[in-house]
Structure 1
Amino acid sequence: MHVFLDLMWFFKTRKKHYTIGILLLISVSFIGLFPPRIIGRFVDHVQHHTLTAQFVWLSVVSIGLMAPAMYVLRYYWRVLLFGSAIELSTTLRLRLFQHLSKMSPTFYQKHRVGDLMAHATNDIQAVESTATDGILTLVDSISTGLLVIATMAVTIDWKLTIAALLPMPIMAYTTSRYGNILHRRFEVAQAAFSDLNDKVHESVNGVRAIKAFGQEDNDIASFSALSQDVVQKNMAVARIDALFDPTIQVIVGASFFLAFAVGAVFVVHHQLTLGDLTSFSIYLGQLIWPMLAFGFLFNIVERGRASHDRVQAILSIAPDIVDPPHALHHVESGDLTYQIQRFVYPGSHDAALLDVQFTLKPGQTLGVVGKTGSGKTTLLRLLLREFDVDDGDIFIGEHTIYGVTLDEVRRHIAYVPQDHFLFSASVADNIAFGRFGATRDEIESVAKLASVHDDILGFPQGYDTLVGERGVTLSGGQKQRISIARALLLDTDILMLDDCLSAVDARTEAAILAGIKSRGGRQTTLIATHRLSAVEHADLILVLQGGRISERGTHSELMAKRGWYATMYEHQQLEAMVEQGGAV
């Protein structure tokens, strides 16, 4: 029952609802004690030929009044208890979602999306069931059981009650054993479901690659194997689950046998009336539900405890990136300064960046170039505080970004990543993602700057065209340009373009860069790219090799040095000339 203590924080917030609901539930159990006694007295009157019309009508009216009263009470306790449990699942999902939104990329490298989705669906559903069916069965089994047993012992015969309850310790022992086994097997089954969930997510996202490589059959076979694994592990749970009812039915049967055997002897020896034995048998029938509920309770609680532990394990992981104490909530823009001595990714021993230092004035442009894996993207992501630097610092104006809230740092930045994520919404909504109140004119204006306006007009519904999940209906170049338009709409102090022009031709690239510059040169721009033509105009170009700055300067200065930059630039220019010649 430890899970109830873990959920006590929620029960306290809904104390009124649970208190009234439980009282109504107990009231239903209490009212249910009267009909068996009425029926028992009816049997005695029939046996002794003393039945009167007045007693019959009084009995009918009494039971007739109890029925609607129990109906109303049952309705309201269900509304109170089940409604509260829905609030619990909503609260937990929101808490989990908020927690996931604070986690760094390191967290998502360690935890699969399918597993996290399983936490937010199946696991929270199991916890919700604990707060509804668990509370219901706990209170109902105890209240009904104790009231019925007390009534049987006090108003009929305590010796007969003890005889009927002799099998109860066996039930307590067996259901406890089943519950422990169920807990372990349910954890394994939930983990298997997470694997299946992750497989579906991966296959849907990678459907183009699967089809391109002709791996549909292998992917289906892999999914089938995981599905069978889920079936087997859930069957292991079901086998234990299936033991509860037969075990309890056997114990209930044993209780009835003892009740009738001992009760018949008492009736023969005139220690009990036939009406009392009838009432006792009805009360014993009312005990069937508490007995079944007791086993059902172990089932629910063990499932809920396993799922609650899984959710809590995620919630207990502290975010890597947090606001420092007394963090500033507002800073003015100014020079952008990097003073990084050394940066190492969590879990790695090799430095991703070493001795990277530079300063950009407001409105200047930085070009970051180099081979794949040289540290270009890392340099940009550090400004977003996706990771924190232990040896070094980054300043916006006079303030270190580690002394400012995350929200304030990111308010100054618009970022276009390599992986252009679009939502299942219209083109206009995707562009306005960072500014939901943007007008259509503002949206179209930045679309023109990003050289995607004409493309959008060619879509079936123009700006109202749904792009499909992750922008599946768009080309790579269109997704890149819509992502750029989204960033431009934010109109921030700093714009970061992370190799986001790779899918457009040189002419479109030039048009986009010209559009960005046409905004008045008030926006500091950082461009990481493999295509050196994208940074020809930059005020400062950094060439990274192995995380270090191997060359720095303007385009003309770097060309004069005749180093890696000059060699690569001439090589790319030659490639461009060949491509243009081939197109003629």
Structure 2
Amino acid sequence: MGIYQKLGWFFKQHKKRYIFGIAMLMLTSLANLVPPRILGLMADQLNKKQITWFSYFKYTGLILVAALSLYVLRLLWRSLIWGGATILEKELRAKLFAHFMKMDRTFFQNNRTGDLMAHATNDVMAVQEVAGDGILTVVDAITLGGCTAVAMILFVDLRLTLIALLPMPLLAIFARYFGDKLYVAYDKSQAAFSKLNNKTQESVSGIKVLKTFGQAKQDTNSFNKMVDETICINKQVFKWQSMFDPLGSLLIGLTYVIAIIYGSILVNNQSITVGQLVSFVAYISNMVWPMFAIGYLFNILERGSASYDRIEKLLVQKPLITDKNADSLLNIQDLHSDLEFNIDSFAYPDDVDHNILKNIHFTLKPGQTLGLVGKVGAGKTTLIKLLLREYDNYAGNIKFGGENIQKIPLKELLEAISYVPQKNFLFSTTIAGNIAFSNPYATMDEIQAAAKKAGLHDDIMAMPEQYETIVGEKGVSLSGGQRQRMSIARALLKDSRVLILDDALSAVDAKTEGIILHNLKAEMHDKTALIASHKLSSVMDADLILVLKHGQIVEQGVHDELLKQKGWYAKMWERQELQSKVGENIDE
């Protein structure tokens, strides 16, 4: 019953609903005692040949009244108790989703998408059953079983009741044993389901790669192997469940045998009447559900307990990035837009001995653009992550408007930044909907203006549905360049004070790149821009260009200054210019 203690917070919130629902359920159990008693009285009168038509219709009417009462009572307790279980399901789902929304990058690195989906579906459903079928089972089993046993004693015979119910303690002992086994088996089953969920999500997301490399068959075989392993694990759950049900049937059958044999002896001895024996046998049918319910209850409780523990392990995790040092009264709109980086060193939490950034110092004024270039792994994206506060564990500080960004409430800081990441994410909705994601209240004119600045408007107008075109999951119907430009349009529509483009022009041609950069220059006259790119043409007009190597600044200046230094930047510029000219000759 430990799961009910864990869910105590919910039952306290909805105690009136459950108190009334349980009361209706208990009245239902009492109403169930009426028909067997009436049948016994009718049997006695028939046996004595004393029944009249008046008595017959009276007893029949009482049974109909009892049936109608049962209908109303069952309707009430089902709407209250099962309705409460639905509320619990809703609250758990909302709590999990809200928790996912506030967690940071580290959380999602440690928890795979398939696991999180399994927690939010299968585990929540298992806990929901505890507040629905679990309450029904425990109350109904105790009330109906207890009331029926009392009725057997009062209306029939104490001796017959005690002897007939001898198998009951055995059922409780076996139920406890199987319940412990079921908890362990179900916990493994849920873990296996999460693993299978992960595999499915990963394979579907990477279907293009699988087919391109001809690995579809191998991946299918791997999936089938995992399914077989999951089935084997689930067999343990089914094994313990299936072992209990036949045992319950055996003990119930034994109860009937004892009742009929010993009851017949008592009838012959005239200790009880035939009608009482009929009532007793009917009462045993009322005991069938409570006896089976013990096993069913343990099944629900153990599954629910295992699932709730898994959910709790997620909910107790805290984000590493918080507003604990923030000044709630600080309004970012009151700050000027100077952006200052003073990073002495930074290492990722899982590799604290290896500094990714070292001695990064620069200042940007409003209207200025920073270019970040360097080889893959040089630290460009990491530097951007620090500004987005994905990590706070660095030596030094980052200031916006003279204030440490850790003092600015995170929500306000992120609202002041428009970010276009390396990997664009588009929603399976219309083009207009995707662009307007950063500003849901934007008009169509504003959406089109942002698309024009991103060099995307003409492409959109050439599509059959234009701005109402559905892009598909993750923008599958668009080219890589179109996805990048749509993400840029989304960022521009947000109209933030800081714009970050993290290799956001890698998939566009040189002509389109020039159009976008020209538009951005006009757009950012009073704003700050950070552009990280492998294409030097994307940053050549920047007010400050940093060349990073192994997380350190090895060259800095404007385009012409860096060319004169004859360093990595100059060599890479010559190489990319040559590649561009060769590409033009091939096109010609």
Q: Same-fold call, TM > 0.5?
A: yes
1:343 aligns with 2:331: no
Q: What secondary structure, in the 3-state scheme, does the structure 1 residue paired with 2:271 have?
A: coil
The equivalent residue for 1:265 is: 265
CA distance in 2, matches of 1:372, 1:392: 24
1:545 aligns with 2:545: no
Deviation at 1:493, TM superposition (A): 0.2
Q: What secondary structure, in the 3-state scheme, does the structure 1 residue paired with 2:83 have?
A: helix
The equivalent residue for 1:394 is: 398
CA distance in 1, matches of 2:75, 2:245: 27
The equivalent residue for 2:497 is: 493
One-letter identity of the residue aligned with 1:106: T
Q: What secondary structure, in the 3-state scheme, does the structure 2 residue paired with 1:432 have?
A: helix
The equivalent residue for 2:242 is: 242
Q: What secondary structure, in the 3-state scheme, does the structure 2 residue paired with 1:287 have?
A: helix
**Alignment: residue pair count:** 584
Aligned-residue RMSD, C-alpha? 1.2
Q: What secondary structure, in the 3-state scheme, does the structure 2 residue paired with 1:537 have?
A: coil
Deviations 1:299-332 (A, max 9, x none): 1111111111111111111111111155335222
The equivalent residue for 1:560 is: 564
Range that drifts further, 426-435 or 10-19: 10-19
1:581 aligns with 2:585: yes
CA distance in 2, matches of 1:173, 1:249: 15
Deviations 1:192-241 (A, max 9, x none): 11111111111111111111111111111111111112222222211111
The equivalent residue for 1:182 is: 182
1:317-356 maps to which residues of 2 (within 5 A)?
317-324=317-324, 327-328=327-328, 330-331=331-332, 332-348=335-351, 349-356=353-360
Q: What secondary structure, in the 3-state scheme, does the structure 1 residue paired with 2:438 have?
A: coil
1:299-310 maps to which residues of 2 (within 5 A)?
299-310=299-310
Deviation at 1:279, TM superposition (A): 0.9
1:63-82 maps to which residues of 2 (within 5 A)?
63-82=63-82
CA distance in 1, matches of 2:128, 2:430: 35
Q: What secondary structure, in the 3-state scheme, does the structure 1 residue paired with 2:144 have?
A: helix
1:225 aligns with 2:228: no
Residues 279 and 109 of structure 1: is their aligned pair in 2 closer, same or farther, counting only changes over 3 Å?
Answer: same
Deviation at 1:460, TM superposition (A): 1.9
Of all paired residues, the percent bearing the same amino acid is 46
The equivalent residue for 1:438 is: 442
Residues 206 and 520 of structure 1: is their aligned pair in 2 closer, same or farther, counting only changes over 3 Å?
Answer: closer
Residues 325 and 58 of structure 1: is their aligned pair in 2 closer, same or farther, counting only changes over 3 Å?
Answer: farther
Residues 325 and 264 of structure 1: is their aligned pair in 2 closer, same or farther, counting only changes over 3 Å?
Answer: farther
Kindly indicate whether the alpha-carbon contact (under 8 Å) linking 2:325 and 2:406 is maintained by their aligned counterparts in 1.
Answer: no
Kindly indicate whether the alpha-carbon contact (under 8 Å) linking 2:326 and 2:409 is maintained by their aligned counterparts in 1.
Answer: no
Deviation at 1:267, TM superposition (A): 1.5
Return 5+ residue gaps in structure 1 as ranges. Answer: none
1:284 aligns with 2:284: yes
CA distance in 2, matches of 1:583, 1:44: 105
Kindly indicate whether the alpha-carbon contact (under 8 Å) linking 2:141 and 2:294 is maintained by their aligned counterparts in 1.
Answer: yes
CA distance in 2, matches of 1:356, 1:304: 51
Q: What secondary structure, in the 3-state scheme, does the structure 1 residue paired with 2:523 have?
A: coil
CA distance in 2, matches of 1:520, 1:494: 9
Kindly indicate whether the alpha-carbon contact (under 8 Å) linking 1:333 and 1:493 is maintained by their aligned counterparts in 2.
Answer: no
1:109-120 maps to which residues of 2 (within 5 A)?
109-120=109-120
CA distance in 1, matches of 2:304, 2:493: 46
Residues 578 and 325 of structure 1: is their aligned pair in 2 closer, same or farther, counting only changes over 3 Å?
Answer: closer
The equivalent residue for 1:534 is: 538
Return 5+ residue gaps in structure 2 as ranges. Answer: none
One-letter identity of the residue aligned with 1:195: K
CA distance in 1, matches of 2:97, 2:331: 26
One-letter identity of the residue aligned with 1:483: S
1:4 aligns with 2:4: yes
Kindly indicate whether the alpha-carbon contact (under 8 Å) linking 1:324 and 1:404 is maintained by their aligned counterparts in 2.
Answer: no
Runs of 4+ more than 3 Å apart: none
Deviations 1:261-310 (A, max 9, x none): 22222212121111111111111110001111111101111111111111
CA distance in 2, matches of 1:355, 1:389: 15
Deviation at 1:333, TM superposition (A): 3.7
1:368-447 maps to which residues of 2 (within 5 A)?
368-447=372-451
Kindly indicate whether the alpha-carbon contact (under 8 Å) linking 1:340 and 1:353 is maintained by their aligned counterparts in 2.
Answer: yes
The equivalent residue for 1:315 is: 315
One-letter identity of the residue aligned with 1:330: N
The equivalent residue for 2:157 is: 157
1:475 aligns with 2:476: no
1:104 aligns with 2:107: no
Residues 498 and 243 of structure 1: is their aligned pair in 2 closer, same or farther, counting only changes over 3 Å?
Answer: same
